[in-house]
Structure 1
Amino acid sequence: MGTLYYGGTSTPIHVEDRALAHLKVVIATKLRRGESFTLSWRHPDEQPRGRSTVWLHPSIPLRFVFDDPEPATLSREWIEDLANSANSSGGIMLVAEQIDPTPVES
């Protein structure tokens, strides 16, 4: 389970390592371009029911922490799905990975 730390909040956002690796690619690309957007996700089963959204902006500190020391093999299709949602008015919605026979190197 990876962790995303955003801004001055002491509340970490827990995301599976593989999903976090894919989010990192999309988020870093958007922020590098100076673009602001939202990131939304459903709460995990062990938390109270619901969903959360954060506003991501290039000037706000962001840190990705992975439990697995080895980088994940990335799915081009999943990155494209996340990037497409990032470019929508609703922002990135963390969606489940689809099976992709052509992985890309991280």
Structure 2
Amino acid sequence: MATLHYGSGDPVHIGDRELAHLKIVIATKLRRQESFTLSWRHPEGEPGGRSTIWLHPSIPLRFTFDEPEPPQLNMQWIEELMHSANSSGGIMLVDEVLETPEPATPSV
């Protein structure tokens, strides 16, 4: 289980794979000096509901991962997360989008 440390608040526990993908989107937005929200559903074992935090470039942020090697990234999932990051609702951590193969072009 990976952890997102943001400001002085409680750490947010997220799966390593999920946080690896979120890290790409969050770093891109913050590098552009863009503020946004991040929302997620509480995992099993925690009180039900969901949480939202406001991410701003001036607030300290740290990502820690249990796995020493980064996972192979799913670009389709990153695009989906980036699309939500650019919406008025901010990033909503959603389940991984499975990559779909390009349809074969029929030979003529």
TMscore range, shorter length: over 0.9
Aligned residues: 101
Match of 1:90 in 2: 89
1:86 to partner: Cα distance:
0.2
Q: CA deviation at 1:101?
A: 5.5
Name the SS for the 1:53 alignment partner.
strand
Aligned partner letter, 1:7:
G
Whole-angstrom distance in 2 between the partners of 1:23 and 1:99: 16
TM-score scaled by length of structure 1: 0.92
Opposite residue 57 of structure 2, the aligned amino acid is P
- Higher gyration radius (CA): 2
Alignment RMSD, CA only? Answer: 1.0
Q: CA deviation at 1:99?
A: 1.3
5+ residue gaps, structure 2, are 102-108
In structure 1, stretches of 5+ residues that fail to align are none
CA distance in 2, matches of 1:101, 1:64: 29
Q: Deviations over 1:67-92 (max 9, x none)?
A: 00001100000000000000000000
Q: d(CA) in 1 for partners of 2:67 and 2:22? A: 16
Q: Could you say what secondary structure the match of 1:73 adopts?
A: coil
Name the amino acid aligned to 2:39: S
Equivalent residue number for residue 28 of structure 1: 27
Percent of pairs identical after alignment? 68
2:71 alignment partner AA: A
Shift, 1:23, TM fit: 0.2
Deviations 1:6-57 (A, max 9, x none): 0022x11000000000000000000000000000000001111100000000
CA distance in 2, matches of 1:12, 1:26: 19
What is the alpha-carbon distance in structure 1 between the residues aligned to residue 70 and residue 48 of structure 2? 31
1:44 and 2:43 aligned: yes
Q: Which of structure 1's runs of 4+ aligned residues deviate more than 2 A? A: none
1:1-106 counterparts in 2 under 5 A?
1-9=1-9, 11-100=10-99
